[in-house]
Amino acid sequence: MRATVVVVGSGMAGAHLAYSLALKGIDVLMLEAGPRRSRAENLLTFYDNPVKGPQSPYPSVASAPHPEDQTYDDFYVQAGGDRFIGAYLRLFGGTSWHWTGFADRLRPVDFRMKSTYALAEDWPIDYDLLVPYYEEAEKRWGVSGDPDFVWGAPRKTGYQMKPIPMSYMDLQVEKALAKLGLTAGPFSHARNSEIFDNRPACCGNNTCVPICPIGAKYDASVHAEKAEKAGARVITDALVTFVELKDNKVSRLKVRRPDGETFWVEGSVFALCCHAIENPRLLLNSAQEGAADGVGNSSGNVGRYLLTQANQDCWGLTPEPVFPYRGPQQTGGLIEMRDGPFRSQQAAIGTSFMNSGWSGNSDATALAKTLIAQGIFGQELSRRINDTVSRHLRLNSSAEVLPDRDNRIELADVRDTAGIPKPKITFRMDDYTKSGLKAGLDINRRIFEAMGATDVKSNDPYLSNAIIGGTTRMGYDPRASVVDRDLISHDHRNLYILGSSAHVTTPVNAPSLTIAALAIRAANHMAGSLMDQSEGTTP
């Protein structure tokens, strides 16, 4: 099998790359390790699954396994430090099936952490370079937002749709913030506030993570399908297990089907778009003559600088109902602590007011069991559940984590059900992050106090399962990075590596829009290089 461009992965990066190239008439083949499942199939799995975590609608398959709720330690080999629980999917449309739906650009300063705050590293690109690609990605998604709240990222154009309204709960929190001299704002969403692109408006199901039941929230299956309609060929259940080199370029990929059949795919240009665990895992598993430490790894940095965010929750009971469990799971958040001179000393904090109530700590089912054990039944049970649940309030703070070369993924000595070495993870949360979370928790406790809340509790800081990045990071110096500013491997010039694995930092503004924007930019660069080659010129 052969294509001009072979794309591995059909998530946010792969879908936008394949769609952009197909629109240009370029021959594209997209390989997806997992199956293609309809929204209806995923919903039925979610309803039937007693576990309601982020992975619950999406069963792992033996031929291309991914982490599952409550069994992360069966998937990852934990090698020390803090427990890593990064969640991702192998599925047509990728991990965006269960993302929150935040449509944030990174802030200009997020690309310049070292220059601005003498920490971490600067990206080899800047905000201004990405603006036109951000705009294109937003047009494709359809973004609902309030132009008065851009979350630190200046805009030349407005949002595609009116904002998703802040919830009643948000407004009650906002009253408490006013007493403390703090402010709140509505988030921008890749979630329809009106019919857009033949997808309905959000109707507030409150299950955005793990699945939007009606498709109001954007996910990359939208553009994976658009790529297919534009002419890209798509093969699902096609696990790429090996990247073969010839004359220091990628020549072909080895692909395994669920029944064990294997075949090879040749191409002119190859793009790995498999998220931040599978990208380095595939490269490391492709060690061969001339690449003894794995493909693209002459620097020894493939798998290193693993990034995530860290979270901390604070929850309590408000004196009057705030009516959570309505609308998207997050519609508003604290504006302060997301950027400022303090970032030279402690992590930026993104605090969200969780419309999902105490989910993850105590929900209506757990409460019902507790009340029944106390001998409460019937109408009184119903009344007590309604009264208590309507007063559930949770604030979640997410903190950035500094890049550290020792935080990494390696290949373990044990293999998964597909016969590939499991990912071995070493990760330690830094004091910079812990200091930021402590500051966030102090503010959150003051908010609960201002609201007169009782039974206020918090958990210990924990690593996010929503954000993974940094394992094939971009940079100018081939000795300290894996790809250049155009996402091309320093070692193999016909290999692009896309997605959050190329990101240098993971600030509190969500990474998904940046993934899409960089994929669109890479498609333009790739198309230009292919044209130069066909004309016999040097790109």
- The helix or strand, by DSSP H or E, that contains position 41, with its residue range, turns out to be helix 39-48
pLDDT at 361 over 60: no
Query: Can you state the percent helix, strand and coil of the chain, rounding each to 5?
Result: 30, 25, 50
**262-300 pLDDT tens trace:** 999 999 999 999 999 999 999 999 999 999 999 999 999
Among 365-374, 419-428, 454-463, 468-477, the range scoring the smallest mean pLDDT is 365-374
N-to-C CA span, the chain: 26
Q: What integer is the mean pLDDT of 500-512?
A: 97
Spatial CB neighbours of 480, under 8 Å, sequence gap ≥ 6: 299, 301
Give the β-pairing of 309-317 and 392-400: antiparallel
Mean pLDDT of the chain: 96
Q: Give the burial class of 259: count Cβ atoms within 10 A of its Cβ; 0-12 exposed, 13-18 middle, 19 or more buried.
A: exposed
Element of type H or E holding 133: helix 127-141
Residue 539 belongs to some domain of the structure? no
93 touches 212 (CB < 8 A) = no
The token pair at 195 is: 């019919």
Cα 29 from Cα 233, distance rounded (Å): 5
276 occurs within a structural domain: yes
Over residues 384-401, mean pLDDT: 96
Report CA Rg, the chain: 23
Three-state DSSP at 300 gives coil
Residue 93 included in any domain: yes
Q: Would 416 be classed as within a structural domain?
A: yes
Q: How confident is the model at residue 537 (pLDDT cuts 50, 70, 90)?
A: low
Beta-carbon contacts of residue 26 (< 8 Å; ≥ 6 apart): 4, 5, 526, 527, 530
**Does residue 313 register a pLDDT over 80?**
yes
- Residue 134 predicted with pLDDT over 60: yes
H or E segment at 184? strand 184-186
Whether 58 is covered by a domain: the verdict is yes
pLDDT at 402: 97
Contacts for 383 with CB less than 8 Å, ≥ 6 apart: none
Indicate whether 197 pLDDT > 70: yes
Q: Which residue in the block uniquely carries the two structure tokens 């003051």? A: 446
Structure token pair of residue 322: 């705030």
Q: Give CB contacts under 8 A, 24+ apart, made by 281-286.
A: 281/409, 281/411, 281/420, 281/421, 281/423, 282/8, 282/240, 282/241, 282/242, 282/243, 283/243, 283/472, 283/497, 284/410, 284/411, 285/241, 285/242, 285/411, 285/420, 285/421, 286/242, 286/243, 286/244
Q: Find the CATH number of the domain harbouring 391.
A: 3.50.50.60
Within a domain: residue 283? yes
Q: Span 367-382, mean pLDDT?
A: 95
Among 173, 263, 186, CA closest to 450 = 173
The whole-number pLDDT of residue 534 equals 73
Can you list the alpha helix ranges (DSSP code H) found in 243-355?
Answer: 275-284
Judged against a pLDDT cut of 70, whether residue 526 lies above it is answered with: yes
Range of the domain at 181: 2-534
* Dihedral over Cα of 13, 16, 17, 19: its sign: positive
The arithmetic mean of pLDDT across residues 500-527, rounded, is: 97
pLDDT digits (tens, 9 = 90+) for 79-94: 999 999 999 999 999 9
In sequence order, what are the residues at sequence separation of 6 or more whose Cβ sits closer than 8 angstroms to the Cβ of residue 241?
Answer: 254, 255, 256, 262, 282, 285, 418, 419, 420
Please name the residues in contact with 507: beta carbons below 8 A apart, sequence gap of 6 or more.
Answer: 106, 107, 110, 113, 348, 400
pLDDT of residue 360: 60
- Percent of the residues in the chain that have a pLDDT greater than 90, as a whole number: 96
Compute the residue count for the chain: 539
Domain count, the chain: 1
* pLDDT of residue 539 exceeding 80: no
Q: 488 pairs with which residues across the strands? A: 496
Residue 363 pLDDT > 90 = no
Per-residue confidence at 365, pLDDT binned at 50, 70, 90? confident
Task: Identify whether 75 is part of a domain.
Answer: yes
Q: What is the DSSP letter of 26?
A: -
Predicted model pTM? 0.97
Q: 3-state DSSP call for residue 412?
A: strand
Exposed / middle / buried, residue 376 (Cβ in 10 Å: 0-12, 13-18, 19+): middle
DSSP output for 204-263 = --S-TTT--SSS-B--THHHHHHHHHTT-EEE-S-EEEEEEEETTEEEEEEEE-TTS-EE
d(CA 360, CA 347): 24
